[in-house]
Structure 1
Amino acid sequence: MTEIPGSQRLHQLALLTLDHGIASAPDGPVVAFAVEEAADGKRTMARFASDTLEDSLIHARAHLRESSAELIAVCFDGFVTLEEGRFDAVWVMAQQRGMEHSQSFFQRYQPSDHEGGFTTLGNPGYGGPSDPLYKP
């Protein structure tokens, strides 16, 4: 992942968070959750159940704005549009303290209610730089 901005630790946190998110997807849309990693490597996670998926993401991002952790990530359910079409996807935005922007990653999937049931589609993708997660 050398062409993707950020450290190896950031990439590892992003992919671990994405794996956890996609593991939750067979049960329905992924409720937004935040992951924080301290400088010593200790991680914490918090889910933000709300009336809507959008509200859960708003609460997760608000939580991370105040984080003192070295690395942070937020995971949520959404869509990605590629040349092949529009797909359900689990998204992760991850940022390391000192970076100007977060970096986004996604994993496409076929939902459980689709013919053939739940399955991931292809490999994780890089969505590019995204809005910062830390408070400016």
Structure 2
Amino acid sequence: MTPEEFCEKLARAQVQFPGDSEEALKKGARQMLKALRDNSPFTTVEHKGKLNKSWRMRMEGAAGKDLQANIYSTAPHFHLVDRGHVQKAPGGRVTGFVQGSHFLQKTLDNEGADIQEAMGEKLLRKLGDNLQ
């Protein structure tokens, strides 16, 4: 089966079987959420708002083509850790730069394709002969 045929079958399955596609999307989003939690940097210092515990998922859209899973962080410092930031003295003078860890992009690169492929395979296996 070519990738084009595979994508066409998935799109048709999403329209014909919205409940099954929603379930597959939720499972895939939960796997990505777990991967982000595992790959988020953490400290042993005791404080509120730990980055690896701040990941949330929200399903949006009714069904079919509108359905999407949004994964986001509630931590206000997420972008600083991921992309890097300048360090400033109390007077406002820049004293250095902290390089970002870019763990979000690394997680998407390492885990994203595998999770997406597993989602498609599970959905196709579940739907079985209904797509022919």
Superposition TM-score, scaled by structure 2 size: 0.28
When Rg is computed on C-alpha atoms for both structures, the one with the higher figure is 2
Which protein has the bigger strand share? Answer: 1
Which protein has the bigger helix share? Answer: 2
Greater relative contact order structure (CA < 8 Å, 6+ sep): 2
